Structure formats: C-alpha cells, structure tokens
C-alpha cells in the first residue's frame, strides 16, 4: 500500500530534503505540504496547502492520510523572541500532532534536537524536551523522535559559527560525545522515511548517533 504523507517544516534544511526524497520514492503516492506561502514546487504527487499555522480551522480538515512528518522549527534570531520561537517550535508542532491523531493519522515522525530535556536550564533544549514529552502522551501507534546534532547542508541563511564548529565536532565525536556528531540534512530525511515505513518499531527516541543507523536501515 502506498502512503499519503503530511509535512510541516518543508521549507527548512531537512524539510526540503525530505520532500525531494518522498517525491522520488514510489512507496509514497501523495506528499502534502502545509506552508505559509507558495514554495514554487510542482510535481504530480505534490499537494500544497497554504495555511495560517496559528489558525487551526484553516488546516485541520486537510490533515489526513497515513503519516505526519515534522521538521518544523526556527532559531531565536529568525523568530525575534523566545515567545515567538516557542509558538513555532512547540505550540504549532503540538497542535498539528493533536489534530493528526484526532483525524486518524497513526504515524508521527518528529525532528527534535540533541540534548532535548524538559528539565534543562537552557531554553532551546528545554523547549524541545517539553515537546517530546507532550507528543509522547498523544497515543500514536508509531511515534519516532529523532534527536540529531548539528545539521549540515546548503542553508539559505548561513550560520557562520555553526559552520566553523562542524569540522572540529567531526573530529571530537569520532570516539567520544558521539551523539553530537554533525549530520547531513539528507541523512536525517532518510532516517525519517525509514522511521515511517518501519511501523513495528518499538523504539521511540533516536539519539544523535542512532539517527545514522536508522538512515542506513540498521534497526
């Protein structure tokens, strides 16, 4: 059976890779994007829904099918404030997850972050940890949470400090701190797809180093 997928966060680094891989994968018959503006993408399998994420009534009835993928997230700089970042990273994500479950979608794959912990004193990792715990309570048949470390790929907005740290982290994480090994957008997207297809997966959280194994099919 071919699957119908829903994606939020499709215009980000991982999201773009995920969309392309799904469009090229015959196991998926429809790829539905929820976006704020036209992406310019056109494909027979692609369905684009331009919505207001803050207005649930603009998208809730459109959220149907087999899988919800979320690579939705932003930075504090892009959001402009912690309150706005929390709305995007936590509230929007949780609202979509809730409606997906209500609408009969039983498979949910979420990109979280290395170090996610609801008890963290760091705003970003605490926020991610709170989301992980909140979606875990919704009762999806298959829930997979990926916690990758620094992402590599072609970003529209360059992050100079992150780019400079990647070579150093690649060396340091060969033997220690393996969960902090930088990972490509392509690899994370592949891991998301494998997670969605492996419906008997009992493992929920995949830490940084484990995401590589999931992408390679070593589960």
- For 149-179, b/e burial (b = at least 16 CB within 10 A) is bbbbbeeeeeeeeeeeeeeebeeebeeeeee
pLDDT, greater one: 150 or 49: 49
For the chain, how many helices (H) and strands (E)?
A: 8, 9
Those residues whose C-beta lies under 8 Å from the C-beta of residue 4, and which sit 6 or more positions away, are 28, 29, 30, 32, 64, 65, 66, 67
Q: What is the structure's pLDDT at 179?
A: 80
List pLDDT tens digits, range 110-136: 999 999 999 999 999 999 999 999 999
User: Can you tell me the distance from the alpha carbon of 85 to that of 75, in angstroms, rounded to the nearest whole number?
Assistant: 7
What are the residue ranges spanned by the domains of the chain? 3-215
Residue 155 has pLDDT above 90, yes or no: no
Q: What is the structure's pLDDT at 172?
A: 47
List pLDDT tens digits, range 37-74: 999 999 999 999 999 999 999 999 999 999 999 999 99
Residue 161 has pLDDT above 70, yes or no: no
Residue 175 has pLDDT above 60, yes or no: no
Coil vs helix vs strand at 123? helix
CATH number, span 3-215: 3.40.50.720
Place 167 in a pLDDT band, splitting at 50, 70 and 90.
Answer: low
Residue 201 has pLDDT above 80, yes or no: no
Q: Which helix (H) or strand (E) holds 146?
A: strand 142-146
Q: What is the structure's pLDDT at 157?
A: 57
Residue 15 has pLDDT above 50, yes or no: yes
User: Can you tell me the distance from the alpha carbon of 214 to that of 193, in angstroms, rounded to the nearest whole number?
Assistant: 9
Q: What is the structure's pLDDT at 153?
A: 75
Q: What is the structure's pLDDT at 165?
A: 56
Q: What is the structure's pLDDT at 174?
A: 55
């Amino acid at each position: 059976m071919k699957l119908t997928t829903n994606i939020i966060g499709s215009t980000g680094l991982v999201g773009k890779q995920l969309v392309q891989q799904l469009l090229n994968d015959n196991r998926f018959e429809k790829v539905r994007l929820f976006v704020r503006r036209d992406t310019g993408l056109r494909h027979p399998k692609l369905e684009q829904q331009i919505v207001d994420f803050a207005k649930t009534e603009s998208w809730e009835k459109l959220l149907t099918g087999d899988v919800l993928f979320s690579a939705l997230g932003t930075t504090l700089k892009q959001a402009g404030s912690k309150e706005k970042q929390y709305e995007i990273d936590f509230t929007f994500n949780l609202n979509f997850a809730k409606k997906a479950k209500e609408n009969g979608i039983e498979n949910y794959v979420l990109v979280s972050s290395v170090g996610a912990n609801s008890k963290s004193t760091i705003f970003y990792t605490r926020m991610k940890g709170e989301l992980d715990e909140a979606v875990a309570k919704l009762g999806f048949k298959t829930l997979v949470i990926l916690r990758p470390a620094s992402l590599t790929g072609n970003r529209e907005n360059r992050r100079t400090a992150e780019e400079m740290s990647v070579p150093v982290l690649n060396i340091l994480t060969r033997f220690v701190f393996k969960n902090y090994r930088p990972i490509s957008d392509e690899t994370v997207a592949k891991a998301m797809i494998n997670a969605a297809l492996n419906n008997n997966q009992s493992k929920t959280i995949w830490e940084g180093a484990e995401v590589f194994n999931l992408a390679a099919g070593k589960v």
